[in-house]
Amino acid sequence: MSKKRMRQHYGKIKLFRGSASPELSNKIADHLELELEGHELIQFPNENLFVKLDKSVRGQDCYMIQTTSSPVHDNLMELLISLQTLRLDSAARVTAVVPYLCYARSDKKDQPRVPITARLVADMISAEADRYMTFDLHAGQIQGFFSIPGDVLSTFSILIEHLKPMLPDMHEPVVVTADLGFAKKARNFAEKLETPLALIEKRRTGNDATATAMGLIGDINGHDVILVDDEIDTGGSIAEAVHLGKEFGAREIYVIFVHAVLSGDAAKRLAALPVKKFICTDTIPMSEEDQAVFGDRLTILTIADLLAEVILRANEGRSVGALFDE
């Protein structure tokens, strides 16, 4: 089947911007040289949401871009209602583009009488969308929670490309992960950067967001440390990891993470740490106030170009894995 016929089958790309991802959506649209489609979003006095499309999308290939960060439930419901609106208007295909998936840490029953909320969120998205796209899930098994096909993308290449030119200025750098659950990804990270790997063992002691760092596996004494994690929420784990790193003789510390959740006063907590550089992505928009707290120590890398290319390839029926040599 020719590319032209595949485009006709799915229709033209129609991009929709959720209220949680305005800047990212604009960048994606600019990269694809497309206009964002208009729609009306109203919140009634009873907090119910109402969505109405400005134009028909019948027979078109629609992409709803909406991250599900804070306010989580408002953003999640807006996503679900928007997806259903597109589907009921007879779009040829509806894709949920969710750079950050909420509840991803609730991915298993690790104690009696608890839910698997990540599965619930996946079920709700699957009920209204034909496909999904997301970045750096907390655990790989979450892909199996969806009953629709999707693209689970990684910011790995973006972060590596930014870090490699920095390596010559670092002193014998070592990649360190603050979470054993992130160890496999951290190992791949270290292999690409051609650096040693060290691990921080931590143990979660309750059902809240706190965890206790226990010890270090590996040698970082006299080395610069590249501390990597998938997301930072309250900043407690990273703070303990930084302090532990200093106790074990780390020189400069660079904190690298994908999702800047930054709940409460996390930005202030992080900015107070003895960290040379913070590097993250824009899967979650960071407020100007939080950016100001970090000052020039913060670098935010955009996923827009990569996501735009994936959307284009999905529309044309081309391989997404080829982007990552897979």
CA neighbor of 89 nearest in space, from 121, 55, 118, 112: 55
**Candidates 4, 164, 202, 276; catalytic one:** 202
pLDDT in tens, 216-259: 899 999 999 999 999 999 999 899 999 999 999 999 999 999 99
Counting every residue, how long is the chain? 326
- What dihedral do alpha carbons 194, 138, 95, 123 form, nearest 10°? 160
Report the pLDDT value the prediction gives residue 6, as an integer from 0 to 100. Answer: 43
CB 138 within 8 A of CB 231: yes
Question: Does 202 participate in catalysis according to the annotation?
Answer: yes
Rounded Cα distance between 265 and 286, Å, is: 13
CB 86 within 8 A of CB 115: no
- Please report, as a single letter, which amino acid is at residue 282: D
pLDDT in tens, 73-131: 999 999 999 999 999 999 999 999 999 999 999 999 988 999 999 999 999 999 999 99
* 280 φ/ψ angles, rounded to the nearest 5 degrees: -140, -175
Query: What are the tokens at 228?
Result: 């990597």
pLDDT in tens, 170-189: 999 999 998 777 888 899 99
Report the pLDDT value the prediction gives residue 64, as an integer from 0 to 100. Answer: 98
Query: What are the tokens at 33?
Result: 């040289």
Query: What are the tokens at 52?
Result: 């109405």
CB 109 within 8 A of CB 141: no
pLDDT confidence band for 213 (50 / 70 / 90): low
Report the pLDDT value the prediction gives residue 118, as an integer from 0 to 100. Answer: 96
What is the average pLDDT score of the chain? 92
Report the pLDDT value the prediction gives residue 89, as an integer from 0 to 100. Answer: 97
Q: What are the b/e assignments for 126-135, b being 16+ CB within 10 Å?
A: bebbbbbbbb
Integer CA distances (angstroms), 267 to 150, 155, 295, in order:
32, 21, 11
Report the pLDDT value the prediction gives residue 74, as an integer from 0 to 100. Answer: 97
